[in-house]
Structure 1
Amino acid sequence: MNCQKSSFLIIVSSLIVAIGAFCEKAIALSPCNDNQLQASYNSSSSSYHEYTVENKVCSIDLPGCTQDFVFNIMLSQVRFIAPTDQVTPVQNCKITILDIPGPFGEDPIRTTVNQNQYSITNYTREDHALHPGIVNRTVIEKDGHIVISTFGEGEGILPTINENQAPDLWGDVDRGLIREVRLRLPTCTNKISGAYQFANESISVNAGDKIRIRASGSIRLGLFAGSASPAGISYGTSYNHFSNALHGHLLGRIFQPGMQDLEGWFSVGNGIDMVAEVSGMLEFLVNDSDPQNNSGAFCVEIENLGSG
């Protein structure tokens, strides 16, 4: 074999190895290592399309209506992430077969789950009628509500129809999710309003009673501080009743006759187990001294286990 031919073969072999390594790297970078999925699109393409659809799910004034709660329900059934009747749970990287109306056959998508961002992304695979395209569905908090925001884009066929039909298509999907959320939202016996200066609920307890308290829900604290769970948020201490507790933190006390307004309060947060040292009325307070711009409420569930 002459040297020129040998050198040529070496170069070709090196290129093949390099191309193979590049392809393996590209596949590894693809969502779920699936090289049929396209994650980015050319907005200058004649077939490029995009849309955003947003639907309110529930008000954060309702105890239990949180991003985490709604997102977990969305993951509970595939029909809440895509136009299908399938009720199996959503799983990261799982392939779901859809059926786009028309003579297209099966329309597969693969779904990724981002728990930290409260979002899922559906990627079309090559056999999908509208490939290539993606749909991202994210649970967000907006204007005092938990909202499902659906963003879609792609370069498949029928771009105008895809954009025009998106509100109705995803509206149907969201209606099913909204019904499920409303069925599962907890009923609340004791609501602690964020708009009250002092406790607006009280429950009688006796000395020695074992008390279990659990709190949930969300309160929007004024115009700028944001929303807080019963644990409260870091937002300075200027508007706190107590500087040693987070802003919006849920507090409790057993009221005794003659107590001053800010006397006897202890931390409750998301919940505590305690033994009542005295008899009296169990009261609650949100750690915010200027509640006039607040909205929402905490839901406080109290179980009195008695003194035994």
Structure 2
Amino acid sequence: MTTTSSAPPSETVASGDEALVELLRLSGRGYTVVRHVLNQLPSGPADRTSVLGPMVTERKRRPLQLYLLLLTVWPWLQNQQPLPNIVWARALTTDTGRIWTATNVSEAWNDLEERGLITRERKSRAVLITPRREDGKAPYTPPGAIKKNHRETFFILPGTFWRDGWFEKLSMPGLAMLLIIAGLTSDKQEAWLTNKDAGKWFGLSPRSVEAGIEDLRTKHLLEERAEWIKAPLSAIGATQRHWYHLTGEFDTDQRRALQERTRQEVRARMSASGAQKASGSTIKIKKKGAATGATADRKVKRRRKSAEES
């Protein structure tokens, strides 16, 4: 008698890395698009703190990671059935980091919903998760769709953020400063920051800013350049300004190149798809033409036969 096992063999079960890679593949672009308003509100209000600062202060690392992954896969997921929480948990579990469970995912969704970053709607036996705009103030739309709108500007996180596990390797301050500096350098190679000003601009404590920069520097994701500038009221009449830029695939030029490659790949896929459809239409037209010609021949033969019989 043949018996069936209640669980698949371990070697046939997909790992967290494999689940994450598959989600990146299905996303169609392999990187994450994030509006700047996740980090900071546009100029205008005296307090420009957005959702990132409070999440760092409250140590909401899991909700932030889950939200970033949701943004990554949304181009694909919006047209699919909802993913079970256990799939999200598998994708976010790394060999050297924390283990995620379905309960962790559910708790993170609760937190994101309270912050206005997602909506939840029960669909039959599943729950549909839909992202909201990165500042939690409006429904989600593809970034950049509205021109000349400061709430639509965005930056990207390259696929290495997920593939190489940086989302988990970085501390919460390190993750926050990666997002902030990636945003500040979306259109330039480097940006200057002070611990005090960064804390004021983004709602972080100076200690968190310092810890985050040190985390990035230690992991070789950040390089720093010091510049002396005049400071008439300082004791020595000068002070240092610290400029930061990200390295490797997080470098500004590398991110731009990634976006351009992706645009070219998308255009190529669309062109190939269009050519295939056009080819199919041509074949149908030819078949229709052939069928029409055959019908005409039969009609001529019938007329001749009728004339001969008469």
Bigger share in strand:
1
The TM tier, using the shorter chain, reads under 0.3
Bigger share in helix:
2
TM-score of the pair, normalised by structure 2? 0.23
TM-score of the pair, normalised by structure 1? 0.23
